[in-house]
């Protein structure tokens, strides 16, 4: 082979190695994730993401046995000890003491992360990690999803710390069965899930409690025996865990057929065919196969209706962008502080990946209106359809229709004003209004 042939190969290899080197370097700062060199962790981060950030107290020295931990903490933290005594850890023939999870050296204590829990709960831990092969969204990738986002390094830490409270499901096991009791019965109840799965982007709580399943739970749930396993015949109605963690399997992403409702998916792909069969099998624990298949088809029809509305809105915004009538235009507002591509190639935020960024970027009003249509109204309809709550479906589609109407009206105004400015020969430059001001300057200095 001629030497000249090797030149592009060597260049490509050098670029690849440089890329890996840069990622490694960028992750080696005081923070964590891809932008670890650009932010400092707050104290609370040691609880949300303990492996990189937790530091043991240094006020007590010595190596202690589990019994000694209990004896001391019975007066220091009696609530924790009470929970531990009520747990299966305490009631075993050989109790699992504090030292089993936190260590024995009081100056080198650690928080129990999933890999520590895996020492005894390997099957559940492996199932949990297996979620990663399905990509986002998944519990196992939740912390990575947060830390590798640009807005995480740019926004005030008080704001993003609240994000980690839920995203920490990837880095500690007490999000679902709280310490120090770690009761499976507690994790089987819907409240364990809706601690995080609530609010406009994922109104799972509203959808579940508005469904026939949720109403039955609200009426009778306190009388059910929550110590029973999540298997057919044990519960009069399903909860979140029953459907999403069937038979107690710690794998939630293996039946996600519509990617959180944010993306139109080809349901005829082999992977989705298998997932759909799994969903029907869950419903058939209580219902006929024909009913189960019908409900899933209804979900598909709802998604088609939703995307018809969303694509119409995207077409409106794309036309405005093409005519240069978005106001303020992408090049006339602040670029994202750590986004070098944004400096070279300013662009409007429209569609799946760009649209999601509208939650954090400086955007025009009409782009934000589309974001709320896609991320809030759309997901309200999807969650309602997926959980058997027709009222939420109707509400979601009503909000989408209203949003589409408002977007079209706003687009007409922007188009008319844009053409008028061009005709005058002196288009107004809104950039100073967006790039200067008390909050803008203060936020730039603080971050």
Distance CA 390, CA 330 (A): 39
User: For residues 60 and 163, what is the distance between their CA atoms, to the nearest angstrom?
Assistant: 33
Backbone angles phi, psi at 227, to 5 degrees: -80, -10
Which pLDDT score is estimated for 439? 59
Mean pLDDT for 95-118 is 93
Instruction: Give the chain's radius of gyration (CA, Å).
Output: 26
What are φ and ψ of residue 398, in 5° steps? -65, -45
Q: At what angle do helices 66-76 and 78-85 cross, to 10 degrees?
A: 130
The answer, yes or no, to whether residue 356 has pLDDT greater than 70, is no
Selection from 221, 258, 255, 251 nearest residue 238 by Cα: 221
Relative orientation angle of helices 289-323 and 378-387, to the nearest 10 degrees: 170
CB of 272 within 8 A of CB of 264?
no
Number of C-beta neighbours around residue 428 at 10 A: 12
Would you tell me how many other CB atoms lie within 10 Å of the CB of residue 13?
11
* Nearest alpha carbon to residue 306 among 429, 395, 233, 194: 395
Angle CA(170)–CA(176)–CA(182) in degrees, nearest 5? Answer: 115
User: pLDDT tens across 151-181, in order?
Assistant: 788 777 777 788 888 999 999 999 898 889 9
Model-level pTM?
Answer: 0.88
pLDDT above 60 for 1: no
Query: How many helices (H) and strands (E) are present in the chain, helices listed first?
Result: 26, 0
Please tell me the distance from the alpha carbon of residue 279 to that of residue 313, in angstroms, as a whole number.
31
Beta strands in 109-193 (DSSP E): none
The yes-or-no verdict on residue 215 having pLDDT over 90 is yes
| pLDDT higher than 60, residue 80 | yes
pLDDT class of 145 with cuts at 50, 70, 90: confident
Give which of 329, 333, 319, 306 is closest to 408, Cα–Cα. Answer: 319
Helix, strand, or coil (residue 147): helix
Give residue 282's pLDDT: 93
**Confidence grade of residue 352 (pLDDT, cut at 50, 70, 90):** low
If one compares 109 and 11, the residue with the highest pLDDT of the two is: 109
Region 98-123: what's the mean pLDDT? 93
Return the bridge partners of 105, or none: 63
Residue 72: which pLDDT band, with cuts at 50, 70 and 90?
A: very high
- According to the model, what pLDDT value does residue 161 have? 80
Look over the chain and give the mean of its residue pLDDT values, rounded to a whole number. 88
Question: What is the structure's pLDDT at 151?
Answer: 78
**Which stretch of 143-152, 319-328, 398-407, 427-436 has the lowest confidence by average pLDDT?**
427-436
Summarised one tens digit per residue, pLDDT across range 179-213 is 899 999 999 999 999 989 998 888 999 999 999 99
Report the distance separating Cα 119 and Cα 101, nearest Å.
10
Longest dimension (CA), the chain: 86
Instruction: Select the highest-mean-pLDDT range: 6-10, 305-309, 350-354, 365-369.
Output: 305-309
**In terms of pLDDT, which residue wins out, 6 or 412?**
412
- Is residue 97 pLDDT above 80, yes or no? yes
**Closest Cα to residue 234, out of 303, 188, 289, 301?**
188
CA distance 309 to 425: 36
**pLDDT tens-digit series, residues 368-396:** 899 999 999 999 999 999 999 999 999 99
| pLDDT tens, residue by residue, 229-286 | 999 999 999 999 999 998 899 998 888 888 888 888 888 787 888 889 999 999 999 9
Residue 384 confidence (pLDDT): 96
pLDDT at residue number 329: 80
Range of 47-56, 145-154, 270-279, 346-355 with top mean pLDDT:
47-56
Which residues sit opposite 63 in a β-bridge?
A: 105
CA atoms 408, 413, 416, 417: torsion sign? negative
Task: Record the tokens describing residue 361, joined without a space.
Answer: 């970027």
337, pLDDT greater than 80:
no
For residues 40-50, average pLDDT: 88
pLDDT value of residue 79: 95
Burial class of residue 295 (count of CB atoms within 10 Å of its CB; 0-12, 13-18, 19+) = middle
When pLDDT is cut at 50, 70 and 90, the band that residue 360 belongs to is low
φ, ψ (nearest 5 deg) of residue 63:
-100, 135
């Amino acid at each position: 082979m001629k030497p000249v042939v090797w030149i592009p190969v060597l260049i490509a290899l050098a670029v690849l190695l440089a890329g890996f080197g840069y990622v490694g370097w960028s992750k080696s700062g005081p923070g964590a994730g891809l932008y670890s060199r650009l932010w400092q962790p707050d104290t609370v981060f040691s609880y949300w993401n303990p492996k990189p950030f937790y530091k043991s107290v240094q006020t007590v020295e010595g190596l202690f046995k589990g019994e000694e931990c209990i004896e001391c903490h019975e007066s220091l933290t009696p609530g924790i000890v009470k929970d531990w005594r009520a747990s299966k850890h305490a009631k075993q023939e050989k109790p699992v003491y504090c030292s089993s999870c936190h260590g024995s050296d009081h100056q080198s204590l650690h928080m129990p992360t999933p890999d520590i829990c895996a020492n005894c709960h390997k099957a559940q831990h492996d199932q949990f990690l297996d979620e990663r092969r399905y990509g986002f969204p998944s519990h196992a990738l939740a912390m990575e999803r947060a830390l590798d986002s640009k807005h995480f390094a740019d926004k005030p830490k008080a704001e993003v710390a609240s994000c980690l409270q839920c995203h920490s499901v990837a880095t500690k096991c007490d999000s679902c069965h709280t310490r120090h009791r770690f009761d499976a019965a507690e994790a089987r109840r819907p409240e364990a899930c809706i601690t995080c799965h609530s609010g406009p982007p994922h109104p799972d709580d509203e959808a579940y409690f508005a469904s026939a399943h949720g109403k039955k739970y609200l009426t009778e749930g306190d009388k059910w025996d929550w110590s029973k396993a999540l298997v057919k015949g044990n519960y009069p109605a399903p909860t979140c865990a029953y459907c999403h963690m069937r038979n107690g399997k710690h794998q939630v992403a293996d039946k996600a057929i519509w990617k959180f409702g944010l993306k139109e998916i080809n349901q005829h792909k082999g992977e989705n065919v298998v997932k759909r069969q799994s969903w029907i099998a869950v419903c058939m624990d209580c219902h006929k196969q024909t009913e189960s298949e019908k409900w899933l088809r209804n979900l598909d029809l709802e998604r088609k209706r939703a995307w018809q509305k969303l694509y119409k809105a995207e077409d409106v915004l794309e036309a405005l962008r093409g005519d240069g009538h978005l106001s303020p235009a992408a090049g006339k507002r602040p670029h994202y502080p750590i986004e070098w591509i944004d400096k070279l190639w300013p662009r409007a935020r429209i569609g799946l990946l760009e649209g999601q960024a509208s939650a954090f970027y400086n955007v025009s009003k009409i782009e934000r209106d589309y974001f709320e249509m896609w991320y809030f109204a759309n997901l309200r309809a999807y969650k309602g359809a997926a959980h058997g709550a027709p009222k939420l479906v109707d509400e979601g589609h009503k909000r989408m229709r209203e949003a589409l109407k408002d977007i079209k009206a706003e687009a007409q105004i922007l188009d008319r004003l844009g053409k008028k400015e061009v005709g005058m020969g002196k288009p107004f430059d809104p950039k100073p209004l967006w790039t200067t001001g008390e909050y803008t300057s203060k936020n730039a200095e603080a971050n």
